[in-house]
Amino acid sequence: MDNVTRRGFVKTAALATAAAQSVGAFELDELTIAQLRAGQQTGKYSAQTLVEKYLARIRDVDRAGPTLRAVIETNPQALEIAQALDQERKARGPRGPLHGIPILIKDNIDTADRMMTTAGSLALEGSIAKRDSFVAQRLRAAGAVILGKTNLSEWANFRSTHSSSGWSGRGGLTRNPYALDRNCSGSSSGSGAGVAANLCAAAVGSETDGSIVSPAAMNALVGIKPTVGLIGRSGIIPISINQDTAGPMARTVADAAALLTALAGVDPNDSYTQASAGKAAKDYTAFVDPKGLRGMRLGVARKFFGYNRDVDGLMEIAIGEMKKLGAVIVDPADLPTHGKFDDSEFDAMLYEFKDGLNRYLAGTAASVQVRSLDALIAFNEKNRAREMPYFGQEILVKAQQKGPLTEKAYLDAVTKNRQLSRGQGIDAVLAKDKLHAIIAPAGGPAWLTDLLLGDHDIGGSSTPAAVAGYPNITVPAGFVRGLPVGISFFGAAWSEGTLIKIASGFEAGVKARKKPGFLNSAAV
């Protein structure tokens, strides 16, 4: 964004003084899904050559070179799958826009193949799912190639209050490709770093509260956290039945929309998706509009400002740009219930995690020895040197102490969460000011990874939409001292199409994404 550059928020000259890891040129660098699809149509690429090139990129950048550790495991059948898809294209034509497109998915999403699903934990090492998750089924049906699994904050960051995002016992620490000593945020750390570093065309993350939108923001990506129920959750290692969802992470709004189209659908094993029948769009890319901000009424959630003056300054420039692009800005437009459901959110999660994880583990293959939360806690204690070298498992212990989902304390917490986040929260603000969406900083910039003390609070606006189960889209807004910062747009249930239109208008007008430089450290 030119205005941001002129005002000093992108300090390009300063970056020249920071040493960078040597990363060679990559033929597929920053190519969109549409460009990769066009390349297959003309014969420039095949699914096989795309897979070969991305696998080589993973070897060069993720395993060697900067050693990002974004990918926890590559799919040993990826080339075989790609070859079959190439033959199918020749015989019958493509299945759709994702035919032959290599996609990475988070290592808490089941695949019934030769890859493990472990949530990054050594306790589930060797765990092969009995059946594909709904997400994997949808990707395969769309003709995508599941290229591998991405590293994550272990147990999707629901293990310790002092954790370091992006670290797992199985995968080690994922590093931010913009500055390798900085954090990727979590829990979809590997999906964020992998897409940012062009290790795949796009990736699937999962979110309970911030785990898609935060790593997307810190890696200059578009992240879509959809309405809970738009994408089926069967086969995803759970935290919260009321808040969990998978979602796309991509370098452009159009790519994220294409992936969302493939993922959305009614899951016979997830009752929450029944509500999406008749509400899901057939093609979310149809909402992509470079002039999408015209006439949109956007409210500024000011209570999410104030964590960082440079981020606040960047947001003010973004708001000014949106006005120029035709948006009507209502400022302020704060939730009257801001900050009033944080405790009840966490309490409900503890109950739901225990119930959901016990159900998931009980259904794993007989070879999996850890088949309950209690057994997981015991495994971690027994393997403390490998599993808990930096932080503990106090959240797991708290969850184990909770009772069943029939307890009054749990039911009261869920009721409170829904009332304060929905009717008295997001819905109230949207109705009061006749808004299409609410805007706020997604957080950031990325903090220095600190394995001794854990994560640092850098703000963020994910909680209202997460607790409500409503959609939230983050888009690159610019850079602060060479580190990406995102802006979030969140709104009513099933408003993904409207949010995509808004986000694509912002993206087209601002053009903030820049590919990573693999610096050893940010220029500060």
Which residue has better confidence, 151 or 22?
151
Q: What residues does 146 pair with on adjacent strands? A: 103
What pLDDT score does 278 carry? 94
Tell me, rounded to whole angstroms, the distance of Cα 308 from its chain centroid.
23
Question: 516: which DSSP letter?
Answer: -
How many Å apart are CA 183 and CA 218, to the nearest integer? 8
> Does residue 11 carry a pLDDT above 70?
no
Nearest to 264 by CA among 221, 289, 235, 227: 227
What pLDDT score does 188 carry? 98
How many Å apart are CA 506 and CA 253, to the nearest integer? 10
CB 213 within 8 A of CB 175: no
Provide the 10 A C-beta neighbour count for residue 304: 25
Give the active site residue among 185, 187, 206, 421.
Answer: 187
Helical pair 496-510 and 309-324, crossing angle rounded to 10 deg:
100
How many Å apart are CA 11 and CA 186, to the nearest integer? 26
Percent pLDDT > 70 in the chain is 97
Percent pLDDT > 90 in the chain is 95
CB 317 within 8 A of CB 1: yes
CB 205 within 8 A of CB 211: yes
Please confirm, yes or no, whether 344 is among the known catalytic residues: no
Residue position matching structure tokens 């290592």: 107
> Does residue 5 carry a pLDDT above 70?
no
Look up residue 152 and give its amino acid: L
> Does residue 81 carry a pLDDT above 90?
yes
CB 304 within 8 A of CB 280: no
How many Å apart are CA 117 and CA 371, to the nearest integer? 14
How many Å apart are CA 52 and CA 285, to the nearest integer? 27
Please confirm, yes or no, whether 22 is among the known catalytic residues: no
Q: Mean pLDDT over residues 192-203, rounded?
A: 98
Q: Where are the domains of the chain?
A: 2-337+416-510
- Poorest-confidence range of 10-19, 201-210, 332-341, 495-504? 10-19
Which residue has better confidence, 16 or 330?
330
pLDDT in tens, 124-177: 999 999 999 999 999 999 999 999 999 999 999 999 999 999 999 999 999 999
> Does residue 198 carry a pLDDT above 50?
yes
What pLDDT score does 9 carry? 34
User: Could you tell me the pLDDT band of residue 1, with boundaries at 50, 70 and 90?
Assistant: very low
User: Could you tell me the pLDDT band of residue 468, with boundaries at 50, 70 and 90?
Assistant: very high
Residue 127, CA distances (Å) to 111, 159, 361, 393, 512 in order: 10, 20, 10, 21, 40
How many Å apart are CA 187 and CA 244, to the nearest integer? 12
What pLDDT score does 407 carry? 98
Name the phi and psi angles at 476, rounded to 5.
-55, 130
E strand or H helix that includes residue 395: helix 394-400
Question: 149: which DSSP letter?
Answer: E
Helix, strand or coil for residue 447? coil
Give the active site residue among 168, 185, 211, 495.
Answer: 211
How many Å apart are CA 111 and CA 75, to the nearest integer? 10
> Does residue 7 carry a pLDDT above 80?
no
pTM of the predicted protein model: 0.96
Q: Mean pLDDT over residues 26-46, rounded?
A: 98
Nearest to 475 by CA among 141, 223, 294, 185: 223
pLDDT in tens, 213-247: 999 999 999 999 999 999 999 999 999 999 999 99
> Which CATH architecture describes the domain 2-337+416-510?
Alpha-Beta Complex (3.90)
What pLDDT score does 13 carry? 34
What pLDDT score does 18 carry? 67
> Does residue 6 carry a pLDDT above 50?
no
- Residues near 126 by Cβ (< 8 Å), separated by ≥ 6? 116, 367, 368
What pLDDT score does 444 carry? 86
User: Could you tell me the pLDDT band of residue 285, with boundaries at 50, 70 and 90?
Assistant: very high
What pLDDT score does 15 carry? 39
User: Could you tell me the pLDDT band of residue 65, with boundaries at 50, 70 and 90?
Assistant: confident
CA dihedral for 54, 55, 58, 59, sign (positive or negative)? negative
Look up residue 381 and give its amino acid: E
Question: 59: which DSSP letter?
Answer: I
How many Å apart are CA 460 and CA 441, to the nearest integer? 6
Q: Mean pLDDT over residues 262-289, rounded?
A: 98
Look up residue 134 and give its amino acid: F
Give the active site residue among 46, 106, 127, 214.
Answer: 106
The average confidence (pLDDT) of the chain is 96
Question: How does DSSP assign 91-137, residue by residue?
Answer: HH--SSTTTT-EEEEETTB--SSSS---TT-GGGTT---SS--HHHH
> Does residue 12 carry a pLDDT above 80?
no
User: Could you tell me the pLDDT band of residue 27, with boundaries at 50, 70 and 90?
Assistant: very high
- Residues near 429 by Cβ (< 8 Å), separated by ≥ 6? 299, 333, 334, 335, 336, 435, 438
How many Å apart are CA 103 and CA 222, to the nearest integer? 15
Please confirm, yes or no, whether 187 is among the known catalytic residues: yes
Q: Mean pLDDT over residues 178-198, rounded?
A: 98
